């Protein structure tokens, strides 16, 4: 990339270096080259960020009218769009995902998060109840306070802004921690926040790792009122324990092992195109990835043949090449983890496509899109989140059976159901133990709808009114008439 990127901390409106002098290297997963340095926030830095955020609640930000505040929130979205190319380039350098995806999905959606919540907050009210003519009850809404936002590396700016936009629109202040592997777009966002005129201290960005680093310091800090966390289920457990000290409000969006259920009467052309997306887009590093594909037996062979044929057309390679469909995985460590699952699949099932690092890519953490069949339902590849371009394709015979198998995992994030039978589609949707069901589609979003998972996939929902509820406190006022 030519020049190197120095990801500094953003505390109280200023870009600063770590008070401990600690910093770490940022690596481009597509080339294994160094991208630059990341400042690792110390406990004191996180404490300063939290204090700045608390102070900012009392400053001009706290005194602004909703109208003034959401104009600033909207401006952040505008400035992201103005700098879309810059953001997209950094996101791709950091993650290894195709530039086309950063340009078409990650960055426009990040901007839309700000635009959407600016609009949404304009018309949010509260509840009021009248009891005969003797009592009147109404609720007033205020910000929760200082909110910690802890983020993963797979959709760095999209997920950070999914939390930040409603938090700000509701009047909170924020201490955000991007994943250690993807610090760049959050740092650029801090610049945009400043340029938009958001007052100092309202948004703070601290870089670092999880345990005994910036993540843990936020989770345990008594001055943080709430945490919205997206990441692994095991990390969620640790954060919950740390956050229990001062009973922080928590919203968790965690892992998934999502079934795609394909009945024989589905539109096969559409299924194949969407399955390609739900299996391999973003290298399969998507919490919503449909990594367990169940196909009704009469069309199983046809589906598998067509999926293999179509998957072979995917181009794995340089994320900056417009022809590339599948880029690099996030890190060497993650690549090894995914390859571990491929070893299990090879031993316990059959790999009909992929399973190797592509020979034409001599540097970077690439993996071929991989299709696994003939594997037992209890195999770890079917039960655990792989978070890479690896899917299992298994046949089923009855509706009851596939529902039982679909629900038989510890996760409960999303599912997609493919059928032209209207009644069956709704019937199955009601029985699946997941937070989101897509019928004859996948990852089709409306930001007003509840987003999140059940079981080990999360706690709470965000989106529309659900985000407003999470990022606000209610006080009920009762009047005796
Ligand atoms: P991760 O849990 O390893 O890390 C996420 C963030 O938590 C990082 O910023 C990390 O530094 C921080 N962290 C780690 N340990 C911590 C600790 N002890 N205390 C405080 N913070 C800590 O997750 P990841 O590997 O970055 O992301 C992949 C995971 O995220 C997958 O499981 C995926 O399913 C999940 N995810 C879920 C959703 C969703 O909406 N449900 C969306 C995207 C990703």
Output the CA–CA distances (angstroms, integers) from residue 275 to 182, 260, 266, 293, in the order listed: 27, 8, 12, 9
Mean pLDDT score, 253-271: 98
Is a pLDDT exceeding 60 seen at residue 160? yes
pLDDT score at 312 = 98
Per the CB < 8 A criterion, the answer to whether 167 and 300 are in contact is no
pLDDT score at 27 = 98
pLDDT score at 2 = 56
Confidence of residue 29 (pLDDT cuts 50, 70, 90): very high
Q: Determine the topology of domain 259-446 in CATH.
A: Aldehyde Dehydrogenase; Chain A, domain 2 (3.40.309)
Mean pLDDT score, 349-361: 98
Output the CA–CA distances (angstroms, integers) from residue 395 to 39, 263, 328, 425, in the order listed: 49, 10, 30, 18
Q: Give tens-digit pLDDT for 422-480.
A: 999 999 999 999 999 999 999 999 999 999 999 999 999 999 999 999 999 999 999 99
Q: What is the CATH class of 9-254+457-480? A: alpha beta
Is a pLDDT exceeding 90 seen at residue 53? yes
Closest CA to 271 of 298, 307, 239, 238: 307
**Longest distance between any two alpha carbons in the chain, whole Å:** 79
Q: What angle do helix axes 66-82 and 184-196 make, rounded to 10 degrees?
A: 130
Distance from C-alpha of 337 to C-alpha of 438, rounded to nearest angstrom: 29
Is a pLDDT exceeding 90 seen at residue 305? yes
pTM: 0.97
Mean pLDDT score, 391-410: 98
Is a pLDDT exceeding 80 seen at residue 3? no
Residue 231 Cβ < 6 Å to ligand 1:
yes
Closest CA to 365 of 255, 287, 276, 283: 283
- CA 207 to chain CA mean position, Å: 18
Mean pLDDT, the chain, rounded, equals: 98
Confidence of residue 354 (pLDDT cuts 50, 70, 90): very high
Is a pLDDT exceeding 90 seen at residue 34? yes
**Which residue intervals of the chain bear CATH 3.40.605.10?**
9-254+457-480
pLDDT score at 405 = 98
Ligand 1 centre to CA of 73 (Å) is 26
SS3 content of the chain, % helix, strand, coil (to 5): 40, 20, 35
Ligand 1 centre to CA of 7 (Å) is 20
Residue 162 Cβ < 6 Å to ligand 1:
no
**Which residue intervals of the chain bear CATH 3.40.309.10?**
259-446
Q: Give tens-digit pLDDT for 63-122.
A: 999 999 999 999 999 999 999 999 999 999 999 999 999 999 999 999 999 999 999 999
Distance from C-alpha of 458 to C-alpha of 465, rounded to nearest angstrom: 18
Instruction: Give the helix/strand (H/E) hosting 371.
Output: strand 370-373
Distance from C-alpha of 350 to C-alpha of 252, rounded to nearest angstrom: 35
Joined tokens for residue 266: 């589905």
Q: Where are the beta strands (DSSP E) in 144-214?
A: 146-150, 173-177, 203-205
* Torsion angle, alpha carbons of 170, 173, 179, 181, to 10: 110
Per the CB < 8 A criterion, the answer to whether 434 and 416 are in contact is no
Candidate of 158, 161, 213, 235 to mutate for ligand 1, largest count of ligand atoms within 8 Å of Cβ? 235
Q: What is the DSSP letter of 388?
A: S
Ligand 1 centre to CA of 233 (Å) is 8
- Name the residue with the closest Cα to ligand 1, atom 34: 255
Candidate of 29, 152, 281, 338 to mutate for ligand 1, largest count of ligand atoms within 8 Å of Cβ? 152
Alpha helices (H) along 214-365: 214-220, 233-243, 268-280, 297-312, 332-348
Per the CB < 8 A criterion, the answer to whether 325 and 314 are in contact is yes
370 Cβ contact partners less than 8 Å away, ≥ 6 residues apart: 342, 345, 351, 353, 354, 355, 388, 389, 390, 391
pLDDT score at 447 = 98
């Amino acid at each position: 990339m030519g020049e190197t990127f120095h990801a500094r901390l953003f505390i109280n409106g200023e870009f600063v270096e770590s008070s401990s002098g600690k910093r770490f290297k940022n690596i481009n997963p597509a080339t294994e080259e160094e991208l630059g340095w990341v400042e690792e926030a110390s406990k004191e830095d996180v404490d300063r960020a939290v204090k700045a955020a608390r102070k900012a609640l009392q400053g001009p930000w706290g005194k602004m009218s909703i109208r003034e505040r959401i104009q600033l929130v909207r401006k952040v979205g505008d400035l992201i769009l103005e700098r879309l190319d810059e953001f997209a380039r950094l996101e791709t350098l950091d993650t290894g995902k195709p530039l086309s995806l950063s340009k078409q999905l990650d960055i426009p959606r990040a901007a839309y998060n700000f635009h959407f919540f600016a609009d949404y907050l304009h018309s949010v009210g509260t509840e009021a109840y009248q009891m005969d003519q003797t009592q009147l009850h109404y609720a007033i809404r205020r910000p929760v306070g200082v909110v910690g936002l802890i983020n993963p590396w797979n959709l760095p700016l999209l997920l950070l802004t999914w939390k930040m936009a409603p938090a700000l629109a509701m009047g909170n202040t924020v201490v955000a921690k991007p994943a250690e592997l993807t610090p760049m777009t959050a740092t650029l966002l801090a610049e945009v926040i400043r340029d938009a005129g958001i007052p100092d201290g309202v948004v703070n960005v601290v870089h670092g790792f999880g345990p005994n680093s910036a993540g843990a310091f936020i989770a345990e800090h008594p001055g943080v009122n709430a945490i919205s966390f997206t990441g692994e289920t095991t990390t969620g457990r640790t954060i919950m324990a740390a956050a229990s000290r001062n009973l922080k409000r928590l919203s968790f969006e965690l892992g998934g092992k999502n079934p795609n259920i394909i009945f024989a009467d589905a539109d096969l052309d559409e299924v194949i195109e969407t399955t390609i997306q739900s299996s391999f887009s973003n290298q399969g590093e998507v919490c919503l990835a449909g990594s367990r594909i169940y196909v009704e037996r009469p069309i199983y062979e046809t589906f598998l043949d067509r999926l293999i044929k179509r998957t072979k057309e995917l181009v794995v390679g340089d994320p900056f090449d417009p022809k590339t469909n599948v880029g690099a995985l996030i890190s060497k460590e993650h690549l090894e983890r995914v390859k571990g699952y491929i070893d299990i699949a090879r031993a316990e099932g059959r790999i009909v496509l992929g399973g190797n690092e592509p020979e034409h890519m001599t540097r970077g953490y690439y993996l071929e899109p991989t299709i696994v069949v003939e594997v037992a339902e209890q195999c770890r590849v079917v039960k655990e989140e792989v978070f890479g371009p690896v899917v299992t394709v298994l046949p089923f015979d009855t509706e009851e059976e596939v529902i039982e198998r679909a629900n038989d995992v510890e996760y409960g994030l999303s599912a997609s159901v493919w059928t032209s039978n209207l009644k069956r589609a709704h019937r199955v949707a009601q029985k699946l133990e997941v937070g989101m069901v897509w019928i004859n589609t996948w990852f089709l979003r409306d930001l007003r709808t509840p987003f999140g998972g059940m079981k080990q996939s999360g706690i709470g929902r965000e989106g529309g009114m659900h985000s407003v509820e999470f990022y606000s406190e209610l006080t009920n006022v009762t009047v005796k008439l």
